[in-house]
Amino acid sequence: MTTRKKAAIIGGGVIGGGWAARFLLNGWDVVISDPDPDAERKIGEVLANARRSLPALSDCTVPQEGNLHFASSIKDAVQDAGWIQESVPERLDLKHKVFAEIQEHCPPDALIGSSTSGFKPSELQQCVKKPNQIFVAHPFNPVYLLPLVELVGAPDTVERAKAVLDAMGMKPLIVRKEIDAHIADRFLEAVWREALWLVKDGIATTEEIDDAIRFGFGLRWAQMGLFETYRIAGGEAGMKHFIAQFGPCLEWPWTKLMDVPELTDELIDTIAGQSDAQSGMHSIRELERIRDDNLVSMMRALKARNWGAGALLADHDERIKPPLPSDITQPLQTLHRVIPIDWTDYNGHMNESRYGQVFSDAGDVVMAMVGADAEYIDGGMSYFTVDNHIRYLAESVAGDEIRVRTQVLEAKGKKLRMYHEMLRADGELLATCNQLLIHVSLETRRSCDPAPHVLAKIDALGEAQAKLPQPESMR
């Protein structure tokens, strides 16, 4: 295959722009051909989103961005291109015309992918000089983030395409036989068709249907797909038991979908055998733990964005979180929680950065105690951490129940110094942190005196805590 790393994007709409971003941010030079006079502006807006999101998926240095150019014609765009991606509207006659012009001017070994969501390769290849050069490369929006690409075409061509996509961090799925709408869109169309009936018949609103997906099976599908999810539903007896229990209801008139195949013994054995090959290396208990860990990680990620199921978790936390400590004459119990799976690293214990988060969260409790809460911060004043000294004394792993005990060492004027002890539920000291915060104006980003009501609470807290003996772990 050619070693050139130049991609030509024919059609710069939503999908074409996403392809351009995916290639460009993976170090490819990109040339775009689109007759729309606003193409450069639209592509620029897509790239702005991609530049802030795609690199955030990586925990290492991403490739240097390639060069972006706009061509005045298909001829100028495809010369010397190693990959050519057609993303013009879904009109077969238009695609045929575009492919003919591409093949007239492109290198003979260039890969020519089509973003079509429905046409088969045999339909795209009609009346072209080199049919096997053209294949389906059907992505999902946004192309620069979602990894799946369905590949359909000549085996040697799609294998070459797969190598390119693998190198860009995507998930090429080679479709075994060509079929209208490939694989994923057939599922989507089935769900979409049923959703339209539910709305038309007054059964559910569009929001209620979306909630059914994003708060329910969508979370399971996102990390295990369909068959592995149902394998777990079958319990220890596995897929055969699931089909035996729920298969007959497929013949009931529950939905307005198309007919289902007859569940013969042969078909059941085929599905069960494929499920064994896919997941049989794990016990049901192991699969449940994998599933649960994945769900916790995904839902916590949504929680950080306060979106979907994550917003539900955040609301629940607000309801169940304990009241702020009220006895300021004793060490303050500022945190009580369990270590989540997404806080652990390759060593199987909590990553050192998360200790900082634990102590930061504990410090936030003290801030709220003195009145520097969310409303205060919205008003333009807050505390910034300017110094942290953390000692790591023992390991903490996912599932550990921890508490943080906090003692205020200094609370006067702009300064708030705290000493935190992180302990496991059994009392073992895991880590300590000496933390200094300075009060600031969020407008000037400089230190300033707290508001009078906060200052009064700071002074009272500092005086009460100064009477406590020094923590043993400081001695």
- 149 pLDDT higher than 50: yes
Same domain, yes or no, for 15 and 162?
A: yes
Please indicate, yes or no, if residue 305 is contained in any of the structural domains: no
- What percentage of residues in the chain have a pLDDT greater than 70? 96
Q: What is the DSSP string of 293-352?
A: HHHHHHHHHHHHTT-THHHHHHHHHHHHSPPPP--TTS-EEEEEEE--GGGB-TTSSB-H
Cα separation, 417 vs 92, whole angstroms? 69
Of the candidate ranges 73-87, 245-259, 286-300, 457-471, the one whose mean pLDDT is the lowest = 245-259
78-124 per-position pLDDT tens digit = 999 999 999 999 999 999 999 999 999 999 999 999 999 999 999 99
60 and 207 in a single domain? The answer is no
Show which of 137, 160, 182 is a domain's final residue.
182
CB 50 within 8 A of CB 21: yes
Domain match, 260 and 232 both: yes
Q: Is 166 helix (H, G, I), strand (E, B) or coil?
A: helix
In a domain, 301, yes or no: no
Provide the percentage of residues in the chain whose pLDDT is more than 90.
Answer: 65
Q: Is the pLDDT of residue 2 over 60?
A: no
Q: 161 and 204 in one domain?
A: no
Residue 422's pLDDT band (cuts 50, 70, 90): very high
CATH number of the domain where residue 269 is located: 1.10.1040.10
Residues 332 and 455 in one domain: yes
Within a domain: 13: yes
Query: Is 266 part of a structural domain of the chain?
Result: yes
Domain boundary among 290, 314, 333: 290
- Work out the mean pLDDT of the chain and round it to a whole number: 91
pLDDT tens, residue by residue, 13-49: 999 999 999 999 999 999 999 999 999 999 999 998 8
Is beta strand 83-86 parallel, antiparallel or unpaired with respect to 111-114? parallel
Quick one: pLDDT at residue 294? 85
Residue 254 CB coordination number (10 Å)? 9
Q: Are residues 133 and 208 in the same domain?
A: no
Closest CA to 422 of 322, 325, 334, 351: 334
Are 413 and 448 within one domain? yes
Pairing of strands 381-392, 415-424: unpaired
Angle at 243 between CA 239 and CA 249, to 5 degrees: 155
pLDDT of residue 54: 86
Same domain, 21 and 119: yes
The HSE-up count of residue 110 (CA atoms within 13 Å, CB side) is 25
Residue 298 falls within a domain, yes or no? no
Q: Are residues 84 and 149 in the same domain?
A: yes
**Distance between CA 376 and CA 58 in Å, rounded?**
35
Q: Is the pLDDT of residue 254 over 80?
A: no
Its domain, for residue 91, covers 6-182
Band (pLDDT 50/70/90 cuts) for residue 64 is confident
Beta-sheet strands, E only, within 14-160: 29-33, 68-71, 83-86, 111-114, 134-138, 148-152
Specify the CATH number for the domain of residue 453.
3.10.129.10
Q: Give the β-pairing of 401-412 and 171-174.
A: unpaired
Q: What does the DSSP assignment read for 208-265?
A: HHHHHIIIIIHHHHHHHTTHHHHHHHTGGGHHHHHHHHHGGGGGSS--S--------H
Q: Do 129 and 168 sit in the same domain of this protein?
A: yes
182, 207, 241: which is the final residue of a domain? 182
- List the single range of 212-216, 285-289, 324-328, 397-401 with lowest mean pLDDT: 285-289
Binning pLDDT at 50, 70 and 90, where does residue 199 land?
confident
Of 134-138, 186-190, 335-339, give the lowest mean pLDDT range. 186-190
Q: Are residues 32 and 66 in the same domain?
A: yes
Q: Are 143 and 26 a contacting pair, CB within 8 Å?
A: no
State if pTM tops 0.85.
Answer: no
451 and 425 belong to one structural domain = yes
For residue 299, being part of any structural domain is answered with no
Q: Quick check: is 307 in a domain?
A: no
Phi, psi at 381, each rounded to 5°: -135, 150
* pLDDT digit string, tens, across residues 378-397: 999 999 999 999 999 999 99
Domain count across the chain: 3
Domain assignment of residue 59, yes or no: yes
Q: How far apart are CA 294 and CA 287, in angstroms?
A: 10
